[in-house]
Each structure stands twice: as structure tokens, then as C-alpha cells.
Amino acid sequence: MLSQKPSVFFIFISTIILSLAIGLGCTPQVLIASHLLPNVSSEMEKPEFWIKKIQNPSRLLLTPGEIRKLNEENLKREDLFLCRVKDLKEEWTKEEILTLLKEDWEGFGRTEEIRYGRYGYPLEESFWNELKKKLNQEALKEINRMLFGLIVKRTDIRVFPTEELSMSTHANYEFDRFQHSSISPGSLMGIYHFSKDKLWAYVQTSFIRGWIRTTALAIAKEKSKAVDYEETKERLIITGNFVKVFGDPSLHQIIFLAQMGTTFPILSLPYTTTQQGLPEKTGINEQCYIIKIPFREVDGELTFRKGYIPKDEDVHQGFLPYTQENLARQAFKMLHQPYGWGEMFDARDCSRFIMDIFATFGILMPRNSKFQARIGISLGQVEGMTIKEKQRVLDRAIPLATTLRLPGHIMLYLGKDKGKYYAIHNIWGIQKAGWFGPVTEKIGKVVVSDLSLGKSGPHQSLLHRITDIQTIVSDSEVRK
């Protein structure tokens, strides 16, 4: 016992010193959240728990025709920053492209706020000067032809043509301000321009503009070759969290992982056999879906090859019916999947979680949570409302078809249980009260939580901070 006293005393004193340092702002305190958050049971982490609460959960909330109409209307809205890439004009002036590059620079370039790079050192003047040179602005012609192509593997889209990080502190590695998002295989790209070293392409996607590695891009000689691929009607939808796509029918060579919401043209469906041994469906392979995937030749040209997906994988021929039951099952497939800002570390953040769920139903969503909160039917102006007033609005919301947005974050509403309101969302962390001031509790994954989460922290609860409640259904559903 005597031999233990010095170590216990040392630990006690060290803890007090560390806590005081944290309380004085010397270093951030980050705690790791437990597996289940407060007021959440293990049963609540199953989609069936929430489905059982819904009357007729398999009814269609939007028909395929209504979804197409919704998408058409949203593509016309400038405030959502969605883009129909195939409709982009094929000639761009030098000034038009320079304007786009200027917008990026003013939004994410050097400011008075210090930014830190990969090794924790400030990004100096020399870095910013070299980065500006890489933009290759002097190579722009008075008239520039837009090229079109397809992504051949999941890749990052960056604010600038660099792998360097841009962090707010010297060790904030989980948040890189140069990271926009990730782009899925088969995505159609409009290509404005190339970096000075030709290693990066400046592109427009359906939901964001930025720089991608040219090795992830196959360029079509004719625009129609890329556009026709995207417009193929018979498509296989990835409905699992991530699904392996193979390059051979024996399923030995994995060529990439396709994430939820990605779609591919179908070349052949797997066939099954009758009791008489005859195929029930037309197909050439019993074991696989055969899909058409883009391929980058050595010279960068777009060609196509076959991809193979096992018949028992989590995929669907065509988009899923848009029902509360299907929404629940899609959301919970990503439960406990890790958080990744801008899809860093091959993960997702809060808005990509929402985007991928709705993509499986064919609903286009913007990439940014602020813009996602403009999709659907508003249930009223809730910013500034009291907790009780917001609860009354939630009582009118349609569970699993309603998004809840607060500054910098977005969630999918699950419903109500024993007087508490719940959501499923991908969250990095929450601030809560500590002995010497607020502490950050890192969650870092997709979780179920009730909306009182964070109520002891300086920003108060999730419910208190909600500014937008949007239900993505038909008008008739809202009027019920």
C-alpha cells in the first residue's frame, strides 16, 4: 500500500494541474463519448424501433414523377448551387474562368487568420505565392473549350490544386479547410482548366466546383460519350454503406468501393434458375450484376469496361421507393460509421450522410447543410422560437422525411419517444459543462441522440439551436 501512495498522489496532482490548464484555455480538452449517448437505448439503434411508431410506414411520400419534378425545380434555384453538368456551355471566356478562380481565392485563400499546414507550421507567404502560380491562370485563352469526363475512382475534390492541409490550429488535423468533398466513380464532370503541372483539373460537379487529381478523371473525346453514360436509364443503385466493385466475374480483383447513392448503368442482371434448371431472367452470369464503369486509358481518354457486383450485395435495380420505412433502413445502415470532414479519411460528415441517404431515392441534395435545409417544405420559421414552440412544430413533422438544421450541422428527424425528440446524424462532437469550464465531448460517428444533447454546454441543446425544419414530402402529406 505504501508503494502506491506516491503514484496515486502524482496522478491526482497531475490531473488537477491539467484541469486548471484547460480551464484557463491553455489547451483544449476533448473527451470520448460512450457508445450509447444519454437517453438512448440499444433498441433505439435499430430501424424497426422507429418504423413501428409510424402508421403505414411503407406508403409513398413522393412518387418517382414527383421526385423528378422536385429535382427539376431545385436545379433551377441559384441559391442551392446544384448543377446539371450536361447543360454547361461548351465555351468559356478567360474572364469567366478567372472570376471563378477569384471567388475560390477570396473564400479560401490567404487571410489575416493564420493557417497551418501538414506538419503544424504556418502556411507562409511563399506557399501562397506558389499555390497561386499552380492555378495556371496565364495559360487561359480568350475562349476556352470545356471538356467533359467521368470519375474512374472515388477521389477528393479540393479547393486548390494541392494536397497540403489548411488547419485553424497547428494540430487540428481532422478539419482541413482545403477539403471540399469526395466524388464517386461514374460522376460526370465539366472541366474548365488544368493546373500548371497538369496533375490537377479544375472541374464542375453536380454539387460543387473544385480541383481533382487528373489520374481519377477520364476525359471524353466527345461530350456525348460522357453524357450518354450518365443518362442511361437502367441503373443499379448502391444501397449499402459501401459496396465492392470487382473487375472480374470470379470476384477476385476489387477495383473500387462504391458508396451509398452511387449509380451505374446495368449491362446484365444475375439470373436464377427454376426447378427445371432453366434461367428465370435473361443474364449471362448467375453470380453477379454486370455494370458499365468508366476507365481511364494511359493517355487519359475515357473508355468503358465491365464491373461485377455479387448478386447478394446491398444494391437495388432503380431507385428505392420513397417511404419512411426505406428512409429508416438506409439511415441506420450508416449507424456508427466514422465522421470525416469533407469525407476525409474515406468517411462522411453530417451533410454527406444526408446526401447519400436521399440519393438512393433519386433526390438531389446540395452538399452544404445550409443549402440542404432549403430542400422540401418549411414547417415555419423556427429560429428564435422557444423550446416548447419548436416541440410543437416537431409534433407536426413527418419522421424520417424531415431534416433539422442548426448552424454548421444537419440531422434526420426520427420521431418522439416518452416525451423526448430524437434524430440520427453524423456528428464530430458536442460541448458540455466541465469542472473548469466547457469541454468538448468527441462523438465522431453516426449516432442516435435526443435533441437535449449539449444542453449543459455554452451553446445549449441541439433543439435550442435548430434554425430550420424541412419536410421532404408532397403537399398532400403535409396537409394530412
Per-residue pLDDT tens, the chain, 480 aa: give them: 333 333 433 333 333 333 333 333 333 455 565 678 999 999 999 999 999 999 999 999 999 999 999 999 999 999 999 999 999 999 999 999 999 999 999 999 988 899 999 999 999 999 999 999 999 999 999 999 999 999 999 999 999 999 999 999 999 999 999 999 999 999 999 999 999 999 999 999 999 999 999 999 999 999 999 999 999 999 999 999 999 999 999 999 999 999 999 999 999 999 765 555 554 555 556 789 999 999 999 999 999 999 999 999 999 999 999 999 999 999 999 999 999 999 999 999 999 999 999 999 999 999 999 999 999 999 988 999 999 999 999 999 999 999 999 999 999 999 999 999 999 999 999 988 777 778 889 999 999 999 999 998 898 999 999 999 999 999 888 877
Sheet holding 235-238, edge to edge: 254-259, 242-246, 302-310, 288-296, 263-268, 235-238, 315-317
Report the 3 state secondary structure along the chain.
CHHHHHHHHHHHHHHHHHHHHHHCCCCCCEEECCCCCCCCCCHHHCHHHHHCCCCCCCCCCECHHHHHHHHHHHHCCHHHCCCCHHHCCCEEEHHHHHHHHHHHHHHHCCCCCCCECCCCCECCHHHHHHHHHHCCHHHCCCEEECEEEEECCCEEEECCCCCCCCECCCCCCCCCCCEEEEECCCCEEEEEEECCCCCEEEEECCCCEEEEEHHHEEECCCHHHHHHHHHCCCEEEECCCEEEEECCCCCCCEEEEEECCCEEEEEECCCCECCCCCECCCCCCCCEEEEEEEEECCCCEEEEEEEEEECCCCEEECCCCECHHHHHHHHHCCCCCEECHHHHHHCECHHHHHHHHHHCCCCCCCCCHHHHCCCCEECCCCCCCCHHHHHHHHCCCCCCCEEEEECCEEEEEEEEECCEEEEEEEEEEEEEEECCEEEEEEEEEEEEEECCCCCCCCCCCHHHHCCEEEECCCHHHHHC
Domains belonging to the chain, first-starting first, are 30-62+323-479 (3.90.1720.10), 82-212 (no CATH), 232-317 (2.30.30)
Residues 6+ apart with CB under 8 A from 316: 236, 237, 239, 360
| Contact in structure between 376 and 403 (CB atoms under 8 Å) | yes
Signed CA dihedral, 22, 23, 25, 30: sign only: positive
Measure Cα distances from 37 to 44, 193, 403 in Å.
11, 47, 20
CA distances (Å), origin 172, targets 33, 159, 429: 19, 18, 14
Residue 307 near residue 246 (C-beta atoms within 8 A): yes
Q: Give pLDDT, residue 40.
A: 97
pLDDT at site 431:
87
Angle at 23 between CA 21 and CA 27, to 5 degrees: 50
Between CA 199 and CA 164, with CA 340 as vertex, the angle to 5 degrees is 35
β-strands 188-194, 30-32 pairing: unpaired
C-alpha cell at position 3: 508503494
β-pair partners for 268: 290
- What span, in angstroms and rounded, lies between the C-alpha atoms of 25 and 189? 45
Distance CA 478, CA 455 (A): 30
pLDDT in the model for residue 439? 86
Query: With contact defined as beta carbons under 8 Å apart, do 156 and 182 qualify?
Result: yes
Residue 72 CA to residue 428 CA, distance in Å, equals: 33
**Edge-to-edge order in the sheet of strand 188-194:** 179-183, 155-158, 209-213, 200-204, 188-194, 147-151, 217-219
- Which of 76, 83, 289, 254 is CA-nearest to residue 183? 83
Q: How many residues does the chain have?
A: 480
Q: Nearest-CA neighbor of 164 among 178, 181, 182?
A: 178
pLDDT at residue 277, as a whole number: 52
